[in-house]
Amino acid sequence: MNPFSHIGLFTKPNDTRVDKTLFQLHEFLLERGYHVHCDRDAGIILGLPTLPSDMLARSIDLAIVVGGDGTLLATGRLLADHEVPLIGINLGRLGFLVDISPDEMLTQLEQMLAGQYKEEARFVLHADVIREDEIIGSGEALNDVVLHVRNEVRMIEFTTRIDGYFVNTQRADGIIITTPTGSTAYALSSGGPILHPALQALALVPICPHTLSDRPLVISNQSVIDIQLCEDRDIPARVSFDGHNNIELESGDALRIHTRPEKVRLLHPQGYDYYHILREKLHWGVQP
């Protein structure tokens, strides 16, 4: 029995490079009798009607994302409530998450749509911004939540607590709270560890800390992280979610970060090898 029947197509906006692949994919699915639904950007390219985001998420049992990792991250956040599985076709640059090349797309999709795939569950972060005991904004991230200075080349000062326990007060350009999914993104360039996707862990990675002994800290993904900007240093800051949806912060504001119970489900071709992805994308040397 075919595990999928209603398939949603998602793509990156304003990028003509996806057109050929999207038309080819749409024709492939129609020939095999699938019901195809489109997000706004895919619908514009294909000339097909679209559905509002929430209705689209409820109407499909599989999402195919044509684009780069950023497009998949946005789609993953959109579909997390419904735990719709995702397949990524790589038309971006790095492609840690979207791991099917357009050249192999039809062959690999034929197998995956027949149920021959490897599934991973990736967890999502939720963060609330708190000012004077009131939540003034929230956001979600599949990669990372980042507290950082804005508009000035100055350090911010903040206090970190984990599960209510005081960790430290530090001065830095900011801090990255990363999932394993995001550990190969901004956190990696800031000196953070690579976390295997199967780990139920988070990493707190300081950005250019003033004290050299400040090092990345790996903790359980069940922990609750509280970070508060110190009130005696009035330096503008902001928090970002996967590099988007910025919320401006003032001195004394706090972040409370925890994982959501819902997961993002990623589907990979049979034979998917995470270490091969690392070697290829990070240009590691390969032993003969």
Binding-site members for NAD(+) are 69-70, 143-144, 154, 171, 173, 184-189
Report CA Rg, the chain: 20
Residue set of the binding site? 69-70, 143-144, 154, 171, 173, 184-189
- 128 among known catalytic residues: no
Which runs of E-coded beta strand occur in the chain?
Answer: 6-11, 35-38, 62-67, 86-90, 117-131, 134-141, 144-149, 156-162, 165-172, 174-178, 201-207, 217-220, 225-229, 237-241, 244-249, 254-269
Distances (CA, A) of 180 to 161, 162, 201, 202, 262: 21, 18, 7, 7, 16
CB 180 within 8 A of CB 196: yes
d(CA 30, CA 206): 48
Numbers of helices and strands, H then E, in the chain: 7, 16
Catalytic residue, from 39, 41, 69, 99: name it: 69
Convert 192-201 to b/e letters by CB count within 10 Å (16 or more is b).
bbebebeeeb
Task: Give the 3-state secondary structure of residue 280.
Answer: helix
Annotated active-site positions, please? 69
